[in-house]
Amino acid sequence: MEIKQASKSLKQMLKRCSSLGKKSSEHVPKKGHFAVYVGHSRDRHVVPITFLNHPTFKMMLQAAEEEFGFRQERGLTIPCDQNIFLSLLDSITSYKLASLSCCVPPFFNFV
């Protein structure tokens, strides 16, 4: 029950966050992506929505919930150092690419 409520709250927060930049189309993330703000300086990063399923990103979201709660009015803020966040994104991206390469037949492997 608690997980269901957290999932519903997360969906509501993402919906609010995605509507923050609707006044200017240049700030709206492309389809399948969403914006997060990182650290005290609130640097904006646009990440694929598929990252929500990655354990590392889930831990970052949990840290955001613990620090700010689900009612973040100024967008989803990740309480993390900018360099650490970028390193984690790189790790997640590498993980996604590695998991894809195991499923590609050898004749499609262009590396």
pLDDT string in tens for the chain (111-residue length): 566 666 666 677 666 655 554 455 557 888 999 999 998 889 999 999 999 888 888 998 898 888 888 777 778 888 889 999 999 989 888 866 555 445 444 443 333
Q: At what angle do helices 55-68 and 82-101 cross, to 10 degrees?
A: 150
Tell me how far apart the alpha carbons of residues 80 and 66 are, in angstroms, rounded to a whole number: 13
Tell me how far apart the alpha carbons of residues 102 and 100 are, in angstroms, rounded to a whole number: 5
Tell me how far apart the alpha carbons of residues 14 and 100 are, in angstroms, rounded to a whole number: 27
pLDDT at position 46, please?
92
Q: What H or E segment, with its residue span, contains residue 98?
A: helix 82-101
